[in-house]
Amino acid sequence: MELKGKRIALGVTGGIAAYKAAELLRLLVKQGAEVRVAMTEGAAHFVTATTFQALSGQPVFIDQWDARMPNAMAHIDLSRQVDLMIVAPASADFLARVANGLADNLLTTMALARACPLLVAPAMNRQMWENPATRRNVARLQADGIGLLGPAVGEQACGEVGAGRMLEPEDIVEAVQAFFTPRLLAAKKVLLTAGPTFEAIDAVRGITNLSSGRMGYALARAARHAGAAVTLVSGPVALPTPAGVERINVRSALEMQTAVMARAAASDIFIAVAAVADYRVANVAGHKLKKDAGGIPALELVENPDILAGVAALENGPFCVGFAAESHDLEKHAQAKRQKKKVPLLVGNLIQDGFGGDENRLVLFDDHGIHPLPPASKTTLARQLIEHIAHLTGVA
Ligand code: PMT
């Protein structure tokens, strides 16, 4: 419920992507936002107002002179009592009208009369997007402080391929969440590790663990929403890259160490969330080991470098945050790890809470004491942890 209490006006213009606006609305409502929908007559050719009404639980407006508004001022009522106005999809025609201050239907009038920020998610044929007139209009909208979400590049409804697809609803919701997040880490560079490592035994087998990457990815998103430039060094996981985050895929602890050490000195904050294998196999076979090769193969293990301790030891290195997943005696083990790795902040979680799943329970250990956070989704905990880090690093 990251958007709980937020009031949003969702404008929908005519275009095949209008059907995606229904999913966008559903996701915004699911996040707790109170959404009022206004659509153009063109949009009503693609999706009915009934769909949006059912999903928002609110009346939907198309006509500026709708008699349901007692004062006949739908444009004022709908655009003034909201924290944000989003138009998705935003057609080339709508962008042109808003860029030029025209107000000839409910939606364009709302855009002109609004007292809140406006985000637009363009959707149109690639030639229309590339047309110099659209380029001019978009430049003018941006100069006027209107936020541009996309468009994405890809296959279009007309069969052509290029820039002009509306961003996926999930990506728009992500941008909306970022919009409402205070920029606590603006101009900061945050480096994170996430997920498990995979230490090869032979060409197809390896040693790994059950880290899903969810905690680390949630933190990467939260840091990005807080305005940081984020680099995520990720072990093998099946998660999409958070929008705006630079992702570097690695497999083994040694690859993770190389990727981290190449960037650590230039980072302001390093958050080690990855469940890194403590040991790797010394005698990795380049081929698939055969069962009938005779005897049970013996694995010789060697210790992996401690990436977090290595970064914490850098002179003028980043502010370091470590994680510890323990099965018992969380406080004792977490405090010991904090001292051993010499990090100012250590985040403890129990393995039964932390590994996999969308929820977790975190306890923060720092110079000021012990701070347990209430059990919550990894998304919520990530936001709270970023706030705590911003506080400790003196930027909030
Ligand atoms: O990915 P999820 O399914 O969401 O699960 C999240 C998590 C449980 C993996 C995460 O919240 C977590 O606790 N990660 C740390 C796991 C752990 O117990 O790490 P550790 O005790 O082995 O290491 C302590 C710290 O040193 C960690 O920050 C780790 O990233 C770091 N480390 C460890 C070993 C090593 N060779 N290099 C390191 O940088």
Write out pLDDT tens, residues 31-88. Answer: 999 999 999 999 999 999 999 999 999 999 999 888 887 776 777 888 888 999 999 9
Q: What is the mean pLDDT of the segment spanning 149-173?
A: 92
Percent of the chain residues past pLDDT 70, beyond the cut: 100
Q: Give pLDDT, residue 319.
A: 98
CA of 349 to the centre of ligand 1 (A): 10
Check the CA dihedral 269-274-279-283 and report its sign.
Answer: negative
Looking at residue 74, what is its pLDDT? 74
The pocket around ligand 1, CB under 6 angstroms, is made up of 193, 195, 211-216, 253, 272-276, 278, 304, 306-308, 322-325, 337, 349, 354-356
Q: Which long-range contacts (CB under 8 A, 24 or more apart) does 282-290 make?
A: 284/200, 284/201, 284/202, 285/201, 285/202, 285/203, 286/202, 286/203, 287/202, 287/203, 288/202, 288/203, 288/204, 288/205, 289/201, 289/202, 289/205
Which is catalytic among the residues 158, 161, 186, 203?
A: 158
Candidate from 208, 273, 311, 352 with most ligand 1 atoms within 8 A of CB, to mutate: 273
> Under 8 Å CB-to-CB from 284, ≥6 apart: which residues?
200, 201, 202
pLDDT digit string (tens) for 192-236? 999 999 999 999 999 999 999 999 999 999 999 999 999 999 999
Given this model, what pLDDT does residue 155 score? 87
* Cβ neighbours around 327 below 10 Å, total: 9
Does residue 133 register a pLDDT over 90? yes
Distance from the alpha carbon of residue 274 to the mean position of ligand 1, in angstroms: 4
Per the CB < 8 A criterion, the answer to whether 9 and 117 are in contact is no
pLDDT in tens, 325-373: 999 999 999 999 999 999 999 999 999 999 999 999 999 999 999 999 9
Atom of ligand 1 nearest to the CA of 218: 4
How many other C-beta atoms lie within 10 A of the C-beta of residue 130? 13
- The structure tokens 């990530």 sit at 382
How many CA atoms are closer than 13 Å to the CA of 229, on its beta-carbon side? 7
215-250 residues labelled b (16+ CB within 10 A) or e (exposed):
bbbbbbbbbbbbbbbbbbbbbbbebeebbbbebbeb
Residue 194 is predicted with a pLDDT of 98
On whether the CB atoms of residues 108 and 79 are closer than 8 A, the answer is no
Quote the ligand 1 centre to 183 CA distance (angstroms): 27
Catalytic site includes residue 116: no
pLDDT of 25 above 80? yes
Mutate which of 276, 320, 321 to test ligand 1's pocket (most atoms within 8 Å of Cβ)? 276
pLDDT in tens, 260-294: 999 999 999 999 999 999 999 999 999 999 887 77
**pLDDT recorded at residue 372:** 97
Cα dihedral sign for 206, 207, 212, 216? negative
Compare 314 and 2 and report the one with higher pLDDT: 314
Which tokens is 128 given? 């229309």
Q: Atom 16 of ligand 1 has which residue's CA nearest to it?
A: 275
* Ligand 1 center from residue 347 Cα (angstroms): 10
So what's the pLDDT on residue 66? 84
- Type of residue found at 210: L
- List, as one string, the DSSP characters of 215-268: HHHHHHHHHHHTT-EEEEEE-S---PPPTT-EEEE--SHHHHHHHHHHHHTT-S
Q: Percent of the chain scored above 90 by pLDDT?
A: 89
Average pLDDT over residues 231-260: 97
Is this prediction's pTM over 0.85? Answer: yes
Q: Report CA(273)–ligand 1 centroid distance (Å).
A: 5
Candidates 207, 304, 208, 194; CA nearest to 249 is: 194
Over the chain, what is the mean pLDDT? 95
Structural domains of the chain in order of their starting residue, each with its CATH number? 7-179 (3.40.50.1950), 189-392 (3.40.50.10300)
